[in-house]
Structure 1
């Protein structure tokens, strides 16, 4: 199974079930090629300076969402596809927002005041 989303102009493959077990053995060049589409999309939205952080945010969010869906963890009702689209749309807007983050958000400490 493969999960693809469109964050910027190009579709980005986020998860290929069955491939993740081999990631720790993959050569760095292969990881660079695999990361390139999400990094490009993140760069389009967040800019050069924040591209890596944006790519990590989207990858972590989507992976968690997908894992919860595959595990049957969304049992409160509602439309899961709509929820995914809602989250992705809000993430796009947040990443494209050029408002500077607060000092705590930039400190490297996720929960800093």
Structure 2
């Protein structure tokens, strides 16, 4: 399904105690399939409680470059107004750190 040049990366972050994601998962996670050589995000998912949230996050991240963190954060801040907005940006930063350690 995924090419040999891809890697699977999990980014995580804490969420507020009253966030339903915290109640269900204890943290916020994003899962990314990234091309190792280019940084292109091929697929994405997150630990959302509503499937539409996962689909929306995927639409923001897929076919974007993980190394363009500031641009991705700006898009998240301009388009994603869920209670886990900050956790999403922190989890993305955590995933970027992991990606950079692979190179």
Q: TM-score normalised to the size of structure 2?
A: 0.33
Greater gyration radius: 1
More strand by share: 2
Where relative contact order (Cα < 8 A, 6+ residues apart) is larger, the structure is 2
Q: TM-score, normalised by structure 1?
A: 0.31
